[in-house]
Amino acid sequence: MSRPARFALRHPVVEGIAIMDGDELHHLRNVMRMREGTSIALLTADRVEHLGRIERFEDNRAIVRIEKTNLASEATPLVLAAAVIKGPRMDFLVEKAAELGVTELWPMLCARGVVRVPGEERMARWRRLAMAAAKQSFAPTPLLLHEATAFADLIPEFARDTLAIGVSNERPLKVICTMGAEPIASVIRRSRARGIVIACGPEGDFDDAEMARAKSAGFIAAGLGINRLRGETAAIAAVSIASAILDEIHGGD
């Protein structure tokens, strides 16, 4: 059974009515050429999905009659802490992370990184890309994008063994990607964890102090093969492997 096309909803639903305008209206009406009576899904930033039908079009908006509202289905927590990369490569990382089912993304500032704190405009762009990817991929939850944070400041956050999305009564597996370590697939399969935190550093890798802090917080070193990878390649490879294994282990739960 095919699923209805999915759109982002910016406005609250009032008395069973949703209003679509702006870019989403253009995509609905002019790009996809949808008509009155068509079923659609509307996804909100707080992980609620509304199912409804287009009731009518007005000059600058579409009126959607909501027929059913669901909390987005619970996703297995898959958290990525990735070093911020220059230019459009970070855009690519954010988009693909959202498509692959990452539930939280922490942009990291690392000792060997060369990128400054991203500004509000860049953060807003990443949030738009993450929402668009969630729409396109039918991800059960939109990616939660945190503010850019120094890796040292993230360690206390991850040391608490809690995740913002998903199960919180079980400790997540925490891995830090570095060359020469045990393959990440073996680490994940052995743990059979119901939630994973993956830290991927810059192309120069984490420095010794960062590795020591991570290990003290319970991170396990994991490798991605013998080749030296670009930052976005490493992050996407790690997430792809983790997502597939989580589905393999817990997909039928």
pLDDT at 233: 95
Mean pLDDT confidence for 161-167? 50
Mean pLDDT confidence for 64-68? 92
Q: Which of 99, 94, 157 is nearest to 125 (CA)?
A: 94
Last residue of a domain, one of 27, 43, 71: 71
Question: How does strand 173-177 pair with strand 196-200?
Answer: parallel
pLDDT at 37 over 50: yes
Q: Which residues contact 215 (CB under 8 A, 6 or more apart)?
A: 176, 221
The boundaries of the domain holding residue 33 are 6-71
- pTM here is 0.77
Positions of E strands within 59-116 = 61-71, 78-83, 104-109
pLDDT band at 166 (very low <50, low <70, confident <90, very high): very low
Looking at residue 34, which CATH number applies to its domain?
2.40.240.20
Last residue of a domain, one of 51, 71, 91: 71
- Percentage of the chain with pLDDT > 70? 91
Same-domain check for residues 67 and 82: no
Q: Give kind and range of the element (H or E) at residue 49.
A: strand 48-58
